[in-house]
Structure 1
Amino acid sequence: MEVIHLKAGENVAKRKDKVSAWYIVQEGNVTLRHEFEETTLGPNAIIGILEQDWFICDYYASTDVTLYVFPCEGVNDLKQFLAAEPKMRRIFLRSALLQRHQLFCAYADMYHKVRQFQNLSDTLYEEYVYLCARSKVEAKQSLDVANITPLEMQHKAENWEINNSNSLIRGALDAYLNLMETDEDLCIGSIMEASAQMHRIARGIREMTNYLRNNRDALFSQVRSDLFHASLLLQSGVKARGGDDGEIKKLIEKQLGYAKELGIFQEELLVSCAKEYASNTEKETAVDQECKTDLEYILQFAGYEGDKYQEMQELFVAYEKVKDADNKDEAAYRLRKQVGKVFYELYWDCFLQAVEGRKKITPVMEMFFNFAYIDQGFLGEDKTSELYQLSAHLDMCASDHVFTIFRWLRAVYEGEKEPSKNEFDMDYTAYLNDGLRRGEWTKEEVARRKQDQKAKARYELENMFTSVNRVTYGNITMFSPVLCEKDLFNSLDKMVVTADRIEDAFNTVRKIDYSLFYRPMLPRTGTSDLIKNEMVMEEILPDVILMPNAGTRAMMWQETASVRNDTPARFMIPIFTAVDLQEAILENCGRYRWEMCRKIQGVRWNDIRERSLTSDYYDYLQFYRKNRELSAETKDQIKGALARAKNNFREIFVKDYQNWIKYEAKGGFRLNRYVRQIMFTYCPFSKAYRADLKTNPMFADAIGKLETNNARNYKRLQGLYEKYKREGGTITPELRENLNFYQM
């Protein structure tokens, strides 16, 4: 087993990382972190034992730690390890049972927190309604707290499980261990049973975490539609009439006290709310007081005045009055075209007001920036209300690799991300050089623009945003950038594309095509001659940008973020969609496979002398008529596929890739023998799927060759890395990932 040392605060594993190894804590402590709960894992604890495929929890070193690492993706790897190390049976089983008990305790704490939240929400809301009635003030009817429903658990711990674990840990643990370690199958069965329970319980804790995160805004939030701000407003009204606000003060102080006790709110939010209460102010901005509609508010947020304000307002009002949003007459077409032009100008002006800190982003502006909302007249009251509620939970649409369009543009503006290619496949540097060549800019102007983050963000908005927004909508001729009621023909919770939905869809493909996002790279660390020129396989997950429309098409916009191959691809998806997200992701993973190979191969992408996915596939389609391995029927099928794809070889590959993942991986044959061979060579199945197909004569030889090559590479790398360590080198996570790649 490999030994690694981590400093306090360093990550051991992050949620959504691929599980390729388990870690045994030798010295120190590791913290298992949920959002509102933490569990400390001490010596002999096993990190990864409760996980499946991808980590569902975060783990970080709470002290300096020493960890043993051994590759493990399931019961077969565990069985091999314990067969080779029988003395570890008792340690593993003991650790599994103790960790299960710890997780049950964390589950019980979280369950109590959820019950406490539900009871407090009901109690505090009833007190608020009572005080409103007593003060002869109408209670706010739109408060979310009135609609909080009890949580129905999908992954629940039963009482008998908790009681069983308690009894085992408190009195019968040694006797149980003595019995189980006598038999390998009994021991492994007990470990995996505990592992399955822990996985379910961890998912249950995540369910409760999501419930609290999604409902806590009903009590305290920044969007001011919560119980706390309603209570402040009630207090202000009573004080303005000269009434006694003593009972209302007690209610507000109770709310603040309970919020701190629950421990589910951000500290900054509670400090801000406490300051508001202390000053007893609930002032509306001048803009809020003057504006009658959301359209007027957005226009004033952008800083428009006079004629420009009037012209923009009249244009959007005229567009709102078009009875048939799909009207194809000339007047409606011209109106759509005008709106399409001015919308992005309005977006840019509002964007600058927000990112330069001139104005605070309110819920209406959140809706505008992320969903292209303009006014209630375009959506209707019900859909507007749904959208308003969704704007309070935009964190559902965000992760390290998933961005709303506003968050993406902000990342470009702040220099965290580089601009995307435009519709002519030109990146920002190529675009500037083209302008220099055509005489639009001087060398000095080009040099300035290369460092100008505002210019980069403007380029991103005027190129990628405008182009992709139209294409992902799905109907280019009838496209309008303004979100309309006709586009939202289903409930928003069913149409919204969340980060979890996206990651689940990608993981479904990655689980089968394990090498999908891996690329050969030179090591980023290590200067030893032993490894500095040794290519390593590194997984680089794509960035996904959610376009503010209700569309029907996803896109793989570019296979890398720049000319460098170590940057993530960019996938574009509508933030609301009615199509099957899994199908859309799978289709674009196929396009990514093709385009990434083309980029790596360069001008030789179709040169059969340089064997690659694209060159083999190009040769197969270009010369299929002369291929004696193909039957006449198969040749007719290829001819038909070429005609349907208009001789676009990539699109034929994409269809075959979809069949490869959906059917061939499960033993359903849809491809001819020649294509199957190409696919297995460049898009092989993961170990779990290969195990199921090993006995199938269609795959037996290919699987045997792949696993022999993987074993040879693994053994060679092991020897190389051992020599590197003897010279004083450190096996970095990058090198460990490369080693694990050959065991997938």
Structure 2
Amino acid sequence: MGLVNLKANEIIHKKGDTVETIEIVVKGKVCVTIDGESITVEVGGILGAAEHPGKKYAFTYTSMEESAVYSYPYSSQDDLYKVVSSNPKISPILAAQTIKIIVSSIDKYNDDYDKICAEIEQIKKDAQEYPVMAISVGQEVEHFPEIENVNPPEKVSALSEWQEKFYRTMASKEDLLKKYCYGLSADIANGMILYSIQALSFNAACRLELAEYYENMTKQVAKFKSTMQLVRAKANDMKRNGTEGQATDIDIKDALNTILQYADADEKATANFREIIKEFKATPGRYDSSDESRALRRKVAQDYYTIYTSAFLRSLSDPMVPSEVMMFLMFGFVDEELAGLENTRQLYVLMKTYKPDPEGLVMTCYEWLKKVYGMQREPSRNEFDEDYFTALRTLKTSGDISEAQMEEMKMDPLERLKFEVKNLLALGNRMSFGRPSMYVPVFDSENVVRPLDTAYVDYKKIHDFYDYIRSVDYSVFCRGGLYSNVEINVPQVLLNEDVTPIMILMPNMGSRAAVWQEIEGKKRNTPARLIISIFNTETLDDILIKLCGEFRWEMCKTEQGVHWNDVTDPSLTSMYCDYLQFYKKNHSLSTDMKEKLKTQLQKFNNNYKNVFVSDYISYIKFEANASPRLNKIAREILFTFCPFSKELREKMADNPQYGELIKKFTAHNAGLARPLTNIMKRLQNEGIEIPDELKTQYEFFKK
């Protein structure tokens, strides 16, 4: 009890809690809400005056800004008089605020009643249009007898006409009454407060009755409204597709209901998701660091993926998926108000003009999940670095599933999909978002920090970057392999196979990209799986150069296995680890260089991989443009294992930092190419066609 300081958007009392206290607002503003409808209480307002002590709160009380309330025990109606009479100095303010709250409550009741009547009128109108509209979109017409009995509620006035006029006039003369009436005596002000609280209680009861009616009515018409929503969405899509209107003509309404109706997921998950999005949308400080906001953001993700999975499965067999649903599957869009009008229009245009990558190497997460469900791709690894089959064996070993269940799940497309949604979609979405503590999976205008058309990542941008990175680090996506063919007497040839990774565009606006897995299973010639937000908030080239550095490191570790940091088996990772571990004893580094390296290690918490990635970025962006950034040792290791392309080497042949390195590389490369050249000459002389693998390797050496 006593003074309670509140942060913005902090809940004071929640609907359903037990009424034990009553508060006076002494600073800021408080929102009093029931079923999404609210009134504002300012300084001097009494919170909980319309509630019943010992019962459950009918309303939710939330601070709208930094506020403060003075709390008193509230065990009986007599406590109200004690609270009022114990504050004689501010009784005029309390009286004026109580009158103002009554008027706001009356206005809110009238507004709510009018909205309900308008909604019922729209339902009746929709019921007449529904059969024709359903047929027009190729949907079977259903019968909904329950909507025939839906009628407007009886309007109950808590106050008589003269009482309402009395309170409205009192509110309009607030300044005069505080000076010439309430200020004359605390007893006058207290009497007005207690008399007004009775009227407030009567009106609150009417609002609760109206809210109960609306809740029951909503349940009664829910099936029809959902069906009509989906039919209208498909009809609107047909209209949009049949016209050549501008983006400004796009008018998407009530998208959340369309998505939820289409998904037809578990009833509890659907209801929870609808309520949490409503609450999330109505919370202005939803991204602040308060415990309430953190909990709210976590709740948004609880049922999101259940809805996503259900909508995804239905879309597979639907030739006419509503635009709202496709925007949900591709971008995480759930609500036009949450996304903002202009962003909604942009998302619609991007969804409608989306073209898949002809090479199939860049795809939305929705397209990727279709490949996993269709058994065209194996599910990705989970957070414990287990692939799907290893994860199943772990479950079988722990006794969670039987041998028969494991065998059945191996080829079950639904189980594979669930595994991929739980791991790649849920975890990858959070990772690519870039701010884990602020993460929500739904598209929100508050996260839009760059214009969508600028931030949008499509397959052309990714392929353009691949061309660029290969023009600098030509072997970035290469991995080692072996070729042998005893029929033509080719015993064993080392290959460098260029395997372009798969880039999966995650449905969010984020700032990160990540190497999800560098190979598929144990096959080293399979493409890596990289993830990036479909809307990138950073400079795309910088993000992708960093990603290539991470891929270089992880791929080397995979190829080297347990010897990845063993300097007796030279590799990118082992040489870099040795360089960073023993830099203090390295006589090739000056004192200044050692100090810089020490600072760099501290910056990255002695994480050798992150130090390498930082150097790799400098190597690609600056060193390749003849702008030195690296020390001699780092430059030599990077050039040895990530050599520049032939064109760049020729340009840098006279560069004092790279001249000797290039000569050494050229000689080494010629030595590796010589046995292959001899084999190809022999095959030519014998009239045997040279295998494509050898031709490709020969072209690689020429680079």
- TM over 0.5, yes or no? yes
The yes-or-no answer on 1:671 pairing with 2:630 is yes
Separation in structure 2 between the aligned mates of residue 328 and residue 674 of structure 1, nearest angstrom: 44
Contact preservation (8 Å) 2:286, 2:296: no
Contact preservation (8 Å) 1:396, 1:500: no
Pick the aligned partner of 2:442 from 482, 496, 499: 482
Separation in structure 2 between the aligned mates of residue 480 and residue 406 of structure 1, nearest angstrom: 18
The yes-or-no answer on 1:433 pairing with 2:393 is yes
Cα offset for 1:722? 3.3
Post-superposition CA distance 1:635-680 (Å, at most 9, x none): 1122111111111111111111111111112221111111111111
Cross-structure match for 1:710: 669
Pick the aligned partner of 1:730 from 677, 683, 689: 689
Contact preservation (8 Å) 2:448, 2:509: yes
Cross-structure match for 1:385: 345
Cross-structure match for 2:648: 689
Pick the aligned partner of 2:422 from 438, 458, 462: 462
Cα offset for 1:526? 4.7
Pick the aligned partner of 2:367 from 371, 383, 407: 407
The yes-or-no answer on 1:416 pairing with 2:376 is yes
Cα offset for 1:224? 3.5
CA shift in 2, pair 1:223/1:729, >3 Å: farther
Cα offset for 1:306? 5.9
Separation in structure 2 between the aligned mates of residue 466 and residue 532 of structure 1, nearest angstrom: 47
Cross-structure match for 1:370: 330
Contact preservation (8 Å) 1:521, 1:538: yes
Cross-structure match for 1:473: 433
Separation in structure 2 between the aligned mates of residue 363 and residue 732 of structure 1, nearest angstrom: 49
Matches within 5 A, 1:11-160: none
One-letter code aligned to 1:513? D
Pick the aligned partner of 2:469 from 469, 487, 509: 509
Cα offset for 1:580? 0.5
Contact preservation (8 Å) 1:530, 1:720: no
Cross-structure match for 2:255: 294
One-letter code aligned to 1:667? A
- How many pairs does the alignment contain? 464
Contact preservation (8 Å) 1:315, 1:339: yes
Matches within 5 A, 1:568-647: 568-647=527-606
Separation in structure 1 between the aligned mates of residue 659 and residue 638 of structure 2, nearest angstrom: 14
CA shift in 2, pair 1:223/1:703, >3 Å: farther
CA shift in 2, pair 1:370/1:294, >3 Å: same
Cross-structure match for 1:224: 238
CA shift in 2, pair 1:559/1:309, >3 Å: closer
Separation in structure 1 between the aligned mates of residue 244 and residue 653 of structure 2, nearest angstrom: 64
Cα offset for 1:226? 5.1
Cα offset for 1:539? 0.3
Where structure 2 has 5 or more consecutive residues not aligned to the other structure, the ranges are 1-234, 246-250
Cross-structure match for 1:659: 618
Post-superposition CA distance 1:193-252 (Å, at most 9, x none): xxxxxxxxxxxxxxxxxxxxxxxxxxxx99535574689xxxxxxxxxxxxxxxxxxxxx
Separation in structure 2 between the aligned mates of residue 222 and residue 495 of structure 1, nearest angstrom: 28
More divergent stretch after superposition (656-665 vs 540-549): 656-665
Cross-structure match for 2:12: none
Pick the aligned partner of 1:444 from 404, 412, 417: 404
Cα offset for 1:718? 2.6
Cα offset for 1:310? 3.8
Post-superposition CA distance 1:590-623 (Å, at most 9, x none): 1111111111111011111111111111111111
Contact preservation (8 Å) 1:694, 1:700: yes
One-letter code aligned to 2:274? Q
One-letter code aligned to 1:609? T
Pick the aligned partner of 1:346 from 293, 307, 315: 307
Cα offset for 1:391? 0.6
One-letter code aligned to 2:585? K
Question: Secondary structure at the residue paired with 2:523?
Answer: coil
Cα offset for 1:741? 0.5
Question: Secondary structure at the residue paired with 1:701?
Answer: helix
One-letter code aligned to 1:650? K
Question: Secondary structure at the residue paired with 1:557?
Answer: strand
Question: Secondary structure at the residue paired with 2:597?
Answer: helix
Cross-structure match for 2:513: 554
CA shift in 2, pair 1:445/1:668, >3 Å: same
Pick the aligned partner of 1:322 from 271, 278, 283: 283
Separation in structure 2 between the aligned mates of residue 443 and residue 350 of structure 1, nearest angstrom: 31
CA shift in 2, pair 1:621/1:329, >3 Å: closer
Contact preservation (8 Å) 1:659, 1:670: yes
One-letter code aligned to 2:646? K
Matches within 5 A, 1:176-195: none
Question: Secondary structure at the residue paired with 1:296?
Answer: helix
CA shift in 2, pair 1:577/1:292, >3 Å: closer
Cα offset for 1:305? 7.7
Cross-structure match for 1:280: none
Q: Which has the larger radius of gyration?
A: 2
Separation in structure 1 between the aligned mates of residue 358 and residue 421 of structure 2, nearest angstrom: 19
Cα offset for 1:625? 1.5
One-letter code aligned to 1:299? L
